[in-house]
Amino acid sequence: MLVTLDTPYADTTAADLCFALDLEAQPALSFLDLTVAPDCRLQLRLLGASHQVVLDTPAGRLTETVACLPSAPAGLPDQVTSAALPAATRYTFRATIQRLPVGAFRAEVTRLRGHFADTTVLAGVFPGSPDALTLIAARGTAWWTVHAYPQSGELVHTATTVRVT
């Protein structure tokens, strides 16, 4: 599902993003609810400052936030692995930053747009900046995201896998 976000695009870079687990739900510009197992629900949330994913399971709630947040230090970890979360027996997060020249960046954003029709994808574009997008895709209790920053030619890729108890 593709949505045009009702907020202007603010220049930022990958270095401004931070990672947080178990923050309260942040104000969302758009969201997509998915049932990923009989007792598990996943909510993909586009924030003005990036993304948040909320996984509800019988054992509890897990909230992952990757965003520009004033309350958290900037910088994404390359990897986070944990077995001590209430809703999961195993949580793995990975992040990479890809820097591309203008032509390659636009080609990759165009390729990513091919995912917009998928029912397990929530993608947001910003008015006035068609190459600035945030995309969240889910399959079961795993999800991946892309954050595109056209002014710096950066694509931030994240991938999360959760094994539910």
Q: What is the pLDDT along the chain (165 residues), one digit of tens a residue?
A: 777 777 766 657 888 899 999 889 888 999 999 998 888 999 999 997 789 999 998 888 999 999 988 777 888 999 999 876 777 778 999 999 999 999 999 999 999 888 777 778 998 887 777 788 899 999 999 999 999 999 899 999 999 999 886
| Cα 1–Cα 79–Cα 29 angle in degrees, nearest 5 | 30
Query: Can you read off the two tokens belonging to residue 73?
Result: 């230090």
Give dist(CA 14, CA 144) in Å, integer: 16
Give dist(CA 149, CA 12) in Å, integer: 7
